[in-house]
Chains A and B, each alone.
Chain A
Amino acid sequence: MVNVMSILTNGLSNATPLILAALGEMLVERSGKVNLGVEGMMAVGAAAGSLAGVKWNSLAGSFLVGGLSGALLSLIYVVAVIGLNADQIVTGLILVFMGIGLSELIGIKTGGTPGTPLFPSLGPFDYLEVFSIVLAVFLWFLLYKTWTGVELRAIGEDELSALERGLRVKTLRVISIIVGGFLAGVAGTYLSDSFHYGRWYSGITGGMGWIAIGDVILGYWHPFGILISGYFTGLLFAMKPLLPTIGIPAELADALPYFLVLVALIIVTFIYKRLGISPPASVWKTIR
C-alpha cells in the first residue's frame, strides 16, 4: 500500500531545507571558499526562527530572524577567514560546534512552545517549497546570464587573475558567504516552522546541514543540479518510514544518504580527473 503521490510531495517538503542550504553553499563555493558550518547555521536558524515566531507570532518575522541569525554566524566566518586569513576548513568546523551550542542557548528560551506553523497554501505546496525552486532558477540566471555571475564564477575559478583584472573579489565573496548563511538560517527555520509546528527542539537539524553540503557536490555546483540532488535526498527521507514495512532496518536506511554522497564524491572526483569537467577550481584545490 504505497501512496506514490504523497511520497512525491513529502519528498519535496523534505528536500526544501536541503535545497535552500545547498544553494547558499553553492554560492559560497562558486566564489572560491568552502564554509563547512552549514549545520551550525541551520541549527541557529531553527532556534532563532522559532523563538521569533513564539515572541511575535509572525511567520515572515520568524523566517527573517532565522535567516539573519544564520547570516550573523557566517559573519564570524567572514572575519576569521577573509579578514584574518584563518584556515577555512577549521573555521567552518568550529562554526558547526558553535552553532549547535548557541542554538541550545537560544532554543531553551522558546521552552518548546509552538510558534508559527507553515502550512501548504499553494495547492499541496507551501511558500518555501515554491521559493526554493524559484531561487534555483534565479541563481541560474544570475550565474550564467549576468555580468555579476561571470565575475563570481571567475573569482572561483582563478583568484589571482581575477584580482589582476580588477574584479571585486572580496566584496563578492563576503556577499556570497553572508547570503549562504542567510539561506542556511532560513533552511533551519523551515525545519521548525514546517515540520514541527514552529516548535524548536534540541538536535532538530540532525545532520541536515552536512547532507546539504553533500548535495552541492552531488548537484555538481549547478543550481539545477542541486535541485535534482536535493529532491532526490528528500525523497529518500520521505521513503524512510516505509522501509521497515519491506524488511529493511530503518537504522541502516539512516546511512543511505551519507553513503550515496560518499559514492557521488568519488565519482565526481573521478569525472574531474579523467574527463576534466570542472567544478569551481579554487574550491577544488581546497577540497580535493
Chain B
Amino acid sequence: MNRAQRNSLLSLISGILGLILIAYMTPAGLRGTFSTLGLVYSRIDLLETSLLYSGPIIASAIGLALAYRAGFITIGSEGQVLLGALTALWLTAYSGLHISRSLMLPLALLFSGLAGALLGLISGILRAYWDVNETLSSLMLNYIVLAFANYLIAGPWRTGPFTQTRSVPNLYAINKIDVLITVLFLAFIYEFLLRRTKLGLAIEALGKAPKAAYTYAIPVSSIIVYVSLLQGLTAGMGGALMIMSFQRNMTAMNQSPGYGYMGILVAWMALISPVGSLIAGYFFSTLIVAGYLLQSKGVPFNTVLLLQSVIVLTFIAYMASRRTKG
C-alpha cells in the first residue's frame, strides 16, 4: 500500500468516523439520527418534498460547476439565489402582472436568472479587468444583497406591522414536477455547453492551464465574463424555484437562507459536473428534510450543514490524497 492509498483510506475512514461521532453528539443520538434518515428514504412523500428543496441547490450547483471548471472560484451563489427570489417575488406579487400560470414560470425564471447573472457579472468584470479576487468580492456581495433584501422586507415591500412581504399567489405556485423539469433542463444544457461547444472547450482549457490558455490567445477576460454571467444565471433561477415552490414569502433574515452555500458544497461533491450536481444536490436535499424532522428530537437544524460539510470534506480529502505522489 503506497502513501496515496493509505492517505485516501485514512481520510475516508476518518470522515465516516466523524459522521458517526456527529450523529452520536446530537440530542437524538446515533439511533435517532439514523432512523430519521432511514425514514426519509422509505417514504415516497418525503422523497418528493426533497425534490422541492433541491431546486435552488441544484440550480446554483450547475452554474457553479461551470465557473469552477474555468477556475472562477465564486461563492456568490447565495446572494444570487436571494436576489433571484426577490425578483420572482416582485414579478408574481408586486408587479401587478396578470398572466397565465404556464407563462409565469418561464418569465420568472428569465427575470430571476437575469438578476442573478447581473450580480455574477459584477464579480466577473472585477476579476476579468481589474484582477480583483472573485471569492472575496462575491462574498461581500452576498452580504450586501442580504442587507438589501432586509431593507425591502422591512421597508417598501412590508405588508402590515410585521416585517413580512406579500406571498407568491397560489395561482403561480409551482410543484415538484416544474422544479424537476427546470433543473433537468438546466443541467443538460450546461453539460452540453461544457462538452460540445467552443466556449466549453475554452473553459476547460482555462481551468486546467491558465498560462497556456493565455499563450494560445484564448480571450481569458471575456471567457471569465461569460462564465460569471452563466453562473449567476442558474443561481438566480434557483431563487425563483425557491420562492415559488416552498418559500412563498419572506420575513426579515439574520442569515441568508443558505441554499446557495449548499450549492457550493454540492458542486464540489459532484466533481464540478452539471449533471452530477443533480444527484449530489438531491442527496443533500434529502438531508434537509431529515434535518427538519430531526428538529422534533431537539437537533438544531444547522447540524445538517455540519453533516454535509463533513461529507464533502471527506470526499475532497479523498480525492486530493489520491493525487499525492507516492
A contacts, CB < 8 Å to B: 36, 76, 79-80, 83-87, 89-91, 93-95, 97-98, 100-105, 107-108, 202-203, 206-207, 210, 213-214, 217, 249, 251-255, 258-259, 261-262, 265-266, 269-270, 273, 287-288
Contacts and interface: CB of A to CB of B under 8 A. Distances in A.
B320 A86 contact: yes
A207 B75 CA distance: 14
A255 B130 contact: no
Contacts of B265: 94, 97
B147 A251 contact: yes
Interface stretch (B36-44, B86-94, B211-219, B298-306): B298-306
Interface stretch (B175-183, B222-230, B240-248, B311-319): B311-319
Contacts of B133: 265, 269, 287-288
B5 to A, nearest CB: 13
B138 to A, nearest CB: 10
A107 B135 CA distance: 29
Interface majority SS (helix, strand, loop, mixed), chain A: helix
B305 A251 contact: no
Interface of B: 7, 11, 22, 25-27, 73, 75, 126, 130-133, 135-137, 139-141, 143-144, 146-148, 150-151, 154-155, 254-255, 261, 264-265, 268, 298, 300-310, 312-313, 316-317, 319-321, 323-324
B228 to A, nearest CB: 15
Contact of A98 (B7, B298, B306, B320): B306
Given A84-B11, A84-B324, A210-B143, 19 more contacts: A84-B321, A85-B320, A89-B135, A91-B316, A93-B75, A97-B309, A101-B306, A104-B300, A108-B27, A202-B302, A203-B254, A210-B140, A214-B136, A217-B136, A251-B148, A258-B143, A258-B147, A269-B132, A287-B136
Contacts of A85: 320-321, 323-324
Contacts of A252: 147-148, 151
A94 B316 contact: yes
A255 B130 CA distance: 23
A84 B317 contact: yes
A61 B142 CA distance: 36
A251 B321 contact: no
Contacts of A89: 73, 135
17 contacts: A76-B313, A80-B317, A84-B11, A89-B73, A89-B135, A94-B265, A94-B316, A95-B309, A104-B302, A105-B306, A203-B255, A210-B140, A254-B143, A259-B144, A262-B141, A265-B137, A287-B133
A80 B143 contact: no
A127 B155 CA distance: 40
